[in-house]
Structure 1
């Protein structure tokens, strides 16, 4: 029964829109951006991509001067700073479309 409950939880997590944050460590602007979006984070699955890690050279080339950068479900959303209103608007649009 426990395994089934865990599977159900994972399934629901994967049905959430994916908010990808392109970042590096340290990134104080990224920390501020995440804090500004904290009320909306339960509505998404957050994936952080460290542009400095090996294998992420293409993202580093694209975004090294622009982090934080956010994509929603693989589509560019915003960069340099967080816009909670924009994220909420896009999440509402996704919810009404499904």
Structure 2
């Protein structure tokens, strides 16, 4: 299982999301990549107004904000092979 966080330096929301993801990672193992949108013009164009974006196995699941309990639920879905649902507050 892989989780990607699209972020950029000096983004307090991104730092908070990374902290939440790391706290969940202590309980549920997964590969984590933190990707700066500043390193790729296509990523910047796609995500610049939405960071942080948390992507689980290629599915954008959270934007702007992530709750540990919701992340755990989505990771359990991914573990069981169920399609990953976006959180209720997400539109992306």
TM-score range, shorter chain: 0.7 to 0.9
Counterparts of residues 1-98 of structure 1 (less than 5 Å): 17-42=1-26, 43-53=29-39, 56-97=40-81
Cα offset, 1:85, TM superposition:
1.9
The whole-number CA distance in structure 1 between the counterparts of 2:50 and 2:18 is: 15
The whole-number CA distance in structure 2 between the counterparts of 1:70 and 1:27 is: 14
User: By percentage of residues, which structure has more helix?
Assistant: 1
The whole-number CA distance in structure 2 between the counterparts of 1:57 and 1:22 is: 13
The two structures have a TM-score, normalised by structure 2, of 0.76
Cα offset, 1:37, TM superposition:
2.7
> Where has structure 1 moved over 4 Å in runs of 4 or more?
none
The whole-number CA distance in structure 2 between the counterparts of 1:48 and 1:35 is: 12
RMSD between superposed Cα atoms in Å = 1.7
Cα offset, 1:24, TM superposition:
0.7
The two structures have a TM-score, normalised by structure 1, of 0.72
Cα offset, 1:83, TM superposition:
2.2
The whole-number CA distance in structure 2 between the counterparts of 1:24 and 1:87 is: 21
- Structure with greater Cα Rg: 1
